[in-house]
Homo-oligomer: A and B are copies of this chain.
Amino acid sequence: MSELLQRKTALRTPVPATATPCPREFRGPAGPRAAREEDAEALNLVELFFFAYRDFVGDADRLLENYGFGRAHHRVLHFVHRRPGLPIAALLDILRITKQSLNRVLKQLLDADFVEARAGAVDRRQRLLYPTAQGARLARDLAALQSARFRRVLEELPPEARGAAAAFLFAMIDADERDRVRGHLQRSELGAERR
Which of A16-24, A84-92, A117-125 touches B? A16-24
How many whole Å from A188's CB to the nearest CB in chain B? 5
**Is A99's CB within 8 Å of the partner chain B?**
no
Nearest chain B residue, comparing its CB with the CB of A181: B51
**Is A14's CB within 8 Å of the partner chain B?**
yes
Contact B8 A52 (CB under 8 A): no
Q: A10 with B73: in contact, given A28-B143, A41-B188 (CB under 8 Å)?
A: yes
Contact A185 B47 (CB under 8 A): yes
Contact B164 A165 (CB under 8 A): yes
Q: Return chain B residues, CB-CB under 8 Å to A49.
A: 53, 56, 169
Q: How many copies does the complex hold?
A: 2
**Is A9's CB within 8 Å of the partner chain B?**
yes
Contact A147 B43 (CB under 8 A): yes
Q: A157 with B171: in contact, given A11-B68, A141-B22, A187-B40 (CB under 8 Å)?
A: yes
**Is A65's CB within 8 Å of the partner chain B?**
yes
Q: Return chain B residues, CB-CB under 8 Å to A42.
A: 147-148, 150-151, 154
**Top 6 A-B residue pairs of the complex, sorted by shortest distance between their CB atoms:** A28-B140, A42-B147, A10-B70, A52-B172, A161-B164, A164-B164
